[in-house]
Amino acid sequence: MSISRRVKAKASIARSIFKSLVSSLAPVRLIGLTGGVFNFVGGLGGITVPLVVGYLAQDYGFAPSLIYISVVAPLGALSYLLLVGDVKRVG
């Protein structure tokens, strides 16, 4: 199995964990809406990151692109760890 397939598999596992967390925390009557918002925000990241990385790689080389990814990824993880408090269903 190639490295990229392993990374994709691990990312899929993490995403399904977060999706189940979203559906278990949302109010029962708003599970669909919260799931849609979660997927929308994830889709925005899936659109903007390749655009930014492509722009940086085209104009400045791959080093700034790798620096960008190495800064954004830990910031996302830290924001999740620091901003998400006690996990309880709303409503």
Instruction: Please say whether the beta carbons of 38 and 22 come within 8 A.
Output: yes
Q: Predicted confidence band at 2 (pLDDT cuts at 50, 70, 90)?
A: low
Q: Tell me the average pLDDT across 32-39.
A: 89
Q: How far apart are CA 45 and CA 63, in angstroms?
A: 20
% of the chain beyond a pLDDT of 90 = 25
In the predicted structure, residue 64 carries a pLDDT above the cut 90: yes
Q: Tell me the average pLDDT across 18-34.
A: 84
Give the up-direction half-sphere exposure of residue 58: CA atoms within 13 A in the CB hemisphere: 6
User: What number of residues does the chain have?
Assistant: 91
